[in-house]
Structure 1
Amino acid sequence: MSTETPVKSPCVYVCSLDDNDICTGCHRSGREITEWGRASNERRREILRQCEIRAREQGVWMNVGTK
């Protein structure tokens, strides 16, 4: 039986919440940042999807090729 590797945090060490409680570095909400440590991988992936949506809305999403 193998254990799934935890989904890595999107933190980029640019920690500053904007007026909407969204981190300008990783695009997580304050609540999502607090929740991250105890969140399941499924929930972490959901949070990452929201981060991508927020970043795209702000025009800062960089699509980096990964394989």
Structure 2
Amino acid sequence: MKSSVSQKIESPCIRNCCLDKQDVCVGCGRSLSDIMNWQAFSDEDKLAALSRADINRQKLCKN
């Protein structure tokens, strides 16, 4: 049975904010656009942003 109450999707911010040359935070992996729009995002948008952040962090670790 699905719950009608959605869980709050927390920001992945780890308070290590520093943008790289592509405007991606080296702390959480989110783009500047995703950071600025986080509060306005729907849950679906937040999940997509988290997925992008995971990919960005993987790229950052390879460099």
Coarse TM-score class (shorter-chain normalised) = 0.7 to 0.9
> What is the TM-score of this pair, normalised by structure 1?
0.79
Q: How far apart in 1 are the matches of 2:60 and 2:28?
A: 12
Unaligned runs of at least 5 residues, structure 2 = none
- Post-superposition Cα deviations, 1:23-62, rounded to whole Å, max 9, x if no partner, equal 11001111100110110111000000001111112237xx
Structure 1 residue 18, shift from structure 2 partner: 1.1
Structure 1 spans left out of the alignment, 5+ residues: 61-67
Contact between 2:26 and 2:57, CA under 8 Å: does it hold in 1? no
2:55 partner letter: I
TM-score by length of 2: 0.84
In the TM superposition, residue 3 of structure 1 has moved relative to its aligned partner by 2.5
- Cα RMSD (Å) of the superposition? 1.5
Deviant stretches of 4+, over 4 Å? none
Amino acid aligned to 2:4? S
Identity of aligned residues (%): 32
The letter of the residue matching 2:25 is C
Distance 1:15 1:58 in 2: 14
Equivalent pairs counted in the alignment come to: 60
